[in-house]
Amino acid sequence: MPTVRLKPKAEARAIRHGFPWVYADELVTDRRTQSLAPGALAVLEDGERRPLGLVTVNTKSKIIARMLDRDPDAVVDQAWFEGRLARALAHRSRLYPQPFYRLVHAESDGLPGVVIDRFGDVAVVQPNAAWAEAHLDALVAALVAVTGVTTVIKNGQGRVRGLEGLAEEMAVVHGAAPAGPVQVPMNGAVYMADLMGGQKTGLFFDQRENHAFAACLAKGAAVLDLFAHVGGFGLAALAGGAARALAVDASAPALALAEAGAGASGFGDRFSTRQGDAFDVLESLGTEGARFDVVICDPPAFAPAKPALEAGLRAYERIARLAAPLVAPGGYLVLCSCSHAADLQAFRNACARGIGRGGRRSQLIYTGFAGPDHPVLPQLAESSYLKALAFRLDG
C-alpha cells in the first residue's frame, strides 16, 4: 500500500480527532504522490511517519485525501462496504417503518463523497468522489446484499463530480429502471419521484421533519409553497389539513409530478400550481394583493460555497422581504436554506432583515435542520447544511 504524508506543520490532531479531510496544501505532494491515480488508496502518515489511517487520494481535487478507515491495514472490498451499509441501515430501520430515506450521508456514514437514497426496492447512488467511482462494483454488490433492493441507479451528475474530475453519467447499474415515477409515502402524503430524470436523486428526504412541523401550522390554512419541486411542503400541508395550497416552481415537469402526487394523495381539488421564477411570482402576488396564512420558501442553495456567501445572503434577504407582505396577520413564514456556506446565524440575520424591510414584525418560533437520516459528523461543518426557520408575523 502506498503512503502519503502530512507536511510537518499540518495539523494531525484534527485528523486524529475525527476530521475526515486533508487539503492539498497540507500534504506532501512529491512525484510519487502525484503519480497516484485519482481515487487510489494509501496509508496516511503524520509528519513523523506515524500512520493515521487509510485514505483515498485525488491530487486533482482540493480535498486531496479523504479518510476511509482508521485502520491502516483495512481492505476495501465488498465485505468492507457491507459493514458500513449494515451500520447505516440499522439506524434508518429504527427511524422509519417504510424503506424511504437517505441510507448513506457521505462522510457522516463513513463513505466519503457517497450519497445513497432509498425508494423502496430502488436505490439511487451518487458516487461523488473518485474512489467511489473506482469501487462502484463492490459498493453496488454490497448494497444489494445488505438491503435487498432490486434496482440500483447511478446518478453521476452535479457540480461536485466535476471538482473530482469525474464525468457526468446516469445509468442503471443493477436491475431494471422504474417504469415511471416512484410513489413515496411521507407525512401522510404521496410524492412522485422521477429517479432517472429529476433533481438530485429524485426527491429531497432532508426536509421530512420540517414538512411535518409546517403541516402543524397549516390546519385550515391557505398555503403558498415556493420552490415547491414535486410538492414539498405543499403536499404535507394538505395532508395536515390545509384548506388549499398553491405550489410555485420554475420547472413544469416538477409541477406535473406535484399535481400527480396531490391526486394520488386524494387532495387534488385543494392543490394548484403556478409555473414561473419564484422572485417574479412573489412580486406578482404582492401586486395582486394576495394573502396566505402560511408562506414557505425552500430555494436551492444560493451560497453553495464561500465565494458566493455575500450574494447568497442578499438573495435570502430578498426572498424574506418579498414573502413577508404576503403573510396574513398572525400567519407564518417558513424560510429554508441548504447552503452550508451560510451558517445558521448569518441565515437567520438575513431573514430577519428581510422580514423587517418587508414591513413586518416577527417572532422566531422554530428552528429545524435535516432529518436524522442525514446525520451530522460533528467535526465536519459541511455535513450540517440545512436550516429551516419558522416565523410568526404580526402587523
- pLDDT tens digits for range 249-261: 999 999 999 999 9
Instruction: Return the pLDDT at 11.
Output: 82
More confident residue, 125 or 199: 125
Instruction: Return the pLDDT at 336.
Output: 98
Q: How far is CA 316 from the centre of its chain?
A: 18
Contacts of 196 by beta carbon, 8 Å cutoff, 6+ apart:
153, 170, 177, 178, 202
Per-residue pLDDT for 107 more than 80?
yes
Instruction: Return the pLDDT at 12.
Output: 87
In the structure, what pLDDT confidence band is assigned to residue 65 with cuts at 50, 70 and 90?
very high
Question: Which residue in this structure is represented by grid cell 429517479?
Answer: 195
- What domains appear along the chain, each with residue ranges and CATH number? 3-69 (2.30.130.10), 78-174 (3.30.750.80), 184-394 (3.40.50.150)
Per-residue pLDDT for 395 more than 80?
no
Are 28 and 5 spatial neighbours (Cβ–Cβ below 8 Å)? yes
**162-179 mean pLDDT:** 92
Is 336 catalytic? The answer is: no
In this structure, the dihedral spanned by the alpha carbons of residues 259, 261, 263 and 266, taken in order and rounded to 10 degrees, is -140
In the structure, what pLDDT confidence band is assigned to residue 199 with cuts at 50, 70 and 90?
confident
**50-55 mean pLDDT:** 97
From the list 216, 297, 336, 338, the catalytic residue is 338
In 3-state terms, what secondary structure has residue 178?
Answer: coil
CA nearest 65: which of 44, 35, 45, 95?
Answer: 44
Task: Kindly list the distances between the CA atom of residue 10 and the CA atoms of 210, 267, 346, in Å, as whole numbers in the listed order.
Answer: 40, 58, 29
- The pLDDT tens digits of the residues spanning 260-271 come to 999 999 999 999
* Pairwise CA distance, residues 38 & 151, whole Å: 28
- The pLDDT tens digits of the residues spanning 306-331 come to 899 999 999 999 999 999 999 999 99
- The pLDDT tens digits of the residues spanning 200-247 come to 788 999 999 999 999 999 999 999 999 999 999 999 999 999 999 999
Contacts of 255 by beta carbon, 8 Å cutoff, 6+ apart:
228, 247, 249, 273, 275
DSSP classification of residue 250? S
Return the exposure string of 55-93: e unless at least 16 CB atoms fall within 10 Å of the residue's CB, then b: bbbbbebebbbbbbbeebebebebebbbebbeebbeebe
Cell of 392: 410568526
| pTM, full prediction | 0.95
DSSP string computed for 44-95:
EE-TTS-EEEEEEE-TTSSEEEEEEES-TT---SHHHHHHHHHHHHHHHHHH
Instruction: Return the pLDDT at 214.
Output: 98
Question: Which residue in this structure is represented by grid cell 449494515?
Answer: 86
Instruction: Return the pLDDT at 165.
Output: 84
DSSP string computed for 201-228:
TSS-GGGHHHHHHHHHHTTT-EEEEES-
Kindly state the percentage of the chain with pLDDT values over 70: 100
Instruction: Return the pLDDT at 262.
Output: 98
Instruction: Return the pLDDT at 161.
Output: 86
Gyration radius of the chain's alpha carbons: 22
* Pairwise CA distance, residues 29 & 22, whole Å: 12
* Pairwise CA distance, residues 70 & 55, whole Å: 9
